[in-house]
Chain A
Amino acid sequence: MEALTNVEKANNTFLEEAEKWSGEKLSLCYQCLKCTAGCPTAPSMDIRPNSIIRMIQMGKKKEVLESSAIWFCVYCQTCGTRCPNEIHIGVLMDALREMAMREGIHAKEKNIHLFHEAFIQSVRRGGRAHEVTMLMDYVLRSRDLMKGSLIPGVKLFLKGKFPLLPSFVKGRGEIKRIFEKCTKAK
């Protein structure tokens, strides 16, 4: 990069790439910080959502894709609902995760992508997430026994939030086709 130090690509290729992958108009962001102000996971992120967008505009591909912030987003969509410029940052974060995986960049947070995998597999099986089988899947994949989450897990189970048997949606065939199409598109 010759023209601008600290900006990875002068012709905004990372911005274009991220806009194409996410389908979001990131150049519109004027840094009002509404997204970060409402984000429940922002306090734990290494880079705040608004800064992620600014860094994309500045072409800082490596820093963005290597951040743990993109893996911390829980897709609650508070940011996207509130954004005055209709930028759905949840969708963007998802796109950034995909871009990171394609680039072979592993998530800074250990195992976090395995949790995502377990979640997706659970949805693939039943059309909706089933917590117990999903967690078993994750534990098997990661060999992480999630000791810290044991007590909250038991409490949730006792309140009936963790049904033992999975329930399936009606159109499982359609779910299957969606997954097939998505895999093909990739």
Chain B
Amino acid sequence: MKKLGVFICHCGVNIAGTVDVKSVAGKMEEVKDVSHSADYIYMCSEPGQQLIREAIREKGLEGVVVACCSPSMHENTFRKAVKSEGMNPYLCEIANIREQCSWVHQKEKQRATEKAEEIILATLKKVRENEKLEAISVSINRSVLVIGGGIAGMTAALDLAEGGYEVILLEKEQALGGHMTQLSKTFPDLHPALPNLFAKAKEIEKHPGIDLHCYSEMEDVKGYVGNFELTIRKKATHVDWEKCNGCGLCIRDCPVEYVSQFERGLGVRKAIDLLYPKSVPDKPVVHRDHCRYFIDGSCRKCEEVCPEKAIRFNQEDERIGKKVGAIVVATGFDLYPREKLGEYGYGEIPDVIDGLSLERMLSADGPTQGKIVRPSDGKVPKEMVFIQCVASRDPDRYMPYCSRICCMYTAKQAKIYKEQVPDGQPYIFYMDIRSDGKGYEEFLQKTIEEEGLLYLRGRVSRIFQDNGKVRVLGVDTLTGNMVEVAADMVVLATAVVPSDGVKDLAAKLRATVDRHGFLTEAHIKLYPVESSTKGIYLAGCGQGPKDISDTVSQASATASKIQALLSTDQLLQDPLIAFVDEHICSGCGICVEICPYEAREMDSRRGISVVHSALCQGCGACIGACPNFACELRNSSSIQTLRMMDTFV
């Protein structure tokens, strides 16, 4: 019989306020093989851990149950503590009497105390049958893939490369920079967006540690933390970038112009073009959907004028294989699609635009060279309406969340508008003003004070065209009056949504997304930059809406987490995974199909299924699926589970 110890945490009043911890500790002392039972105000604190270590040393404990919070909080803490006394860490188990007991039964103290006892008794049954296990050691590849070349991906890639790791950077567009290249000035310091971004992009282009692949997408990924195998698809650019000298003659002479997505429909681009002027890399791409050669085999103007003979009409997509140890997903955002915003006249009324379109207008390299004009007639708007929370904070029809950037960029845009059109009047419809970043509230108050912005609190009810004006109906809830503005132009601060294709990418990576399509972190506070799959990390707006400063901070946090992961050649993994009883396994292969981590494989020689220990996450799907009960989970065997259940029923 093992000598066991039970340690009950008060968690301040979180547990002790509901569960009578003293009486539980007393009851546990009466259990036959429990040779030590104690309670303490905070078991996770240093003196609390000291209690556990001393008891192991003095009483020679062979198994420990800590009754406290969820194992995701402190299992690791206590396993380390017992290990320091020479005990196998997998003989220490957590009985969760906080989330699963005291927090949910605050009004039934007596019954909560009884339930806590049962949870501890059940966990004792588990510990009695636990095996001593050793962590599994896996060799790792010390390079990193960063998906997305926006400010998040660029920051993470640079940080990692500066740390001495090899980085592969993928960008689906033809140049680096993401949405930040579309912005004019950034809040709260009003610095222009491009110079800083260009400096970073140039550094990435030249960095020996960064393997940059623009106009490329990730096609497939296999493997597990430390050992991912990738297939990258480099889309055909139809220009030999090695030869291209960036002279721009091809762009000048291309006869095809089409509406530019980059300019948010306000400008045009050529069939062979850069993403934006002076882009990094500054190499053009032939866009097959618009190029005359690809449509009817004619033209070939670019080929004629190219002094370097760099045009390659017959170029095809290329697939390359790479190996990395960790992956950063920095896929960024899009704005809420305009065709779904008919309520605001967006897409129907030409003078109703979104915030990013106005950013293009405000950019010196944009379609209007930095001038704010009405898209319909090119006149300067004298009455300008900004509407915040368009498709955000509207759980019924649109997105329930706050997009976090609109309050600040609207104030910034209204400020720049007022500076450009001093006799113009900006009106801003808002619900609340959220200016939580450093210096944001001060920026906002200063802007309101200096520029005389008129904030109208309330949602807009109707927008319609009337005699060359855009009439906006709403309410000012601060006076309780209906208001109606005959505006020249309306700017919608539309919701931030995850960029296209994130769901497919997440499926390939076995990462999870929430119901809006944002990538989910492993734990919002404890593991905020890790995805639910080991080795896959998150940065930027793909994880949730955030502004540039938050994005850069998060990307750097991600990079340092990865540096810690890759700091050794060997990775230690939890051994709490599935194993197969070779005598029982019939080789039916159901487990191979059901495994979400591709950790099960058929051993054709022996005719049985085996577990790939580095891939298995211990989810237990195969155990439930196995018709012969040949699979078991280490330290969570069927026998252990049944015995635990006996306690409760």
Contact = CB atoms under 8 A, between A and B. Distances in A.
Interface string B470-493: 000000101101111111000000
Contacts of B433: 30
B425 A58 contact: no
A4 to B, nearest CB: 5
Given A10-B425, A15-B452, A28-B445, A4 B486 contact: yes
A91 interface: no
B478 A5 contact: no
Chain B binding surface, main DSSP class: strand
Contact of B484 (A4, A11, A12, A27): A4
Contact of A11 (B425, B448, B453): B425
A100 to B, nearest CB: 20
Given A3-B383, A28-B448, A31-B478, A12 B483 contact: no
A50 to B, nearest CB: 8
Given A51-B479, A58-B479, A27 B452 contact: yes
Contacts of B481: 6, 58
Contacts of B457: 31
A85 B446 CA distance: 11
B425 A12 contact: yes
Interface in A1-33: 2-7, 10-12, 15-16, 25, 27-28, 30-31
Nearest to A9: B425
A25 B449 contact: yes
Interface string B553-587: 00000000000000000000000000000000000
Contacts of B476: 6, 54, 58
Interface in A32-71: 51, 54-55, 57-58, 60
Given A3-B383, A12-B452, A54 B478 contact: yes
Nearest to A11: B425
Interface residues of B, number: 23
Nearest to B444: A30
Contacts of A12: 425, 452, 454
A7 B448 contact: no
Contacts of B486: 2-4
A14 to B, nearest CB: 12
B289 interface: no
Nearest to A57: B454
A6 B482 contact: yes
Interface string A66-94: 00000000000000000001000000000
B423 interface: yes
A58 B433 CA distance: 19
A1 to B, nearest CB: 10
Contacts of A85: 445
Kindly name the residue among A4, A5, A7, A85 whose own CB sees the greatest number of chain B CB atoms within 10 A. A4
Contacts, number: 56
Nearest to A7: B483
A3 B478 contact: no
Contacts of B409: none
A53 to B, nearest CB: 10
A127 B481 CA distance: 45
A54 B484 contact: no
A51 B449 CA distance: 18
A4 B445 contact: no
A4 B483 contact: yes
A3 B487 contact: yes
Given A11-B425, A54-B478, A54-B479, A3 B485 contact: yes
Contacts of A16: 452
A138 B501 CA distance: 80
B467 to A, nearest CB: 11
Interface string B189-214: 00000000000000000000000000
The CB with the most chain B CB atoms within 10 A, among A2, A7, A16, A25, is that of A7
A70 B433 CA distance: 30
Contacts of A58: 454, 476, 479, 481
B475 to A, nearest CB: 10
A138 B484 CA distance: 46
Contacts of A6: 476, 481-484
Interface string B44-57: 00000000000000
Nearest to B476: A58
Contacts of B445: 28, 85
Interface string B239-281: 0000000000000000000000000000000000000000000
A61 to B, nearest CB: 14
B645 to A, nearest CB: 57
Contacts of B454: 7, 12, 57-58
21 contacts: A3-B382, A3-B425, A3-B485, A4-B483, A4-B485, A6-B476, A6-B482, A6-B484, A7-B454, A7-B483, A12-B452, A27-B448, A27-B452, A31-B457, A51-B478, A54-B476, A54-B479, A57-B454, A58-B476, A58-B479, A58-B481
Given A4-B483, A7-B483, A55-B479, 12 more contacts: A2-B486, A3-B382, A4-B427, A4-B484, A12-B452, A12-B454, A25-B449, A27-B448, A28-B449, A54-B478, A54-B479, A58-B479
Q: Which 9 A-B pairs have the closest CB atoms?
A: A3-B383, A5-B484, A4-B485, A54-B478, A6-B481, A10-B425, A3-B486, A6-B483, A31-B478
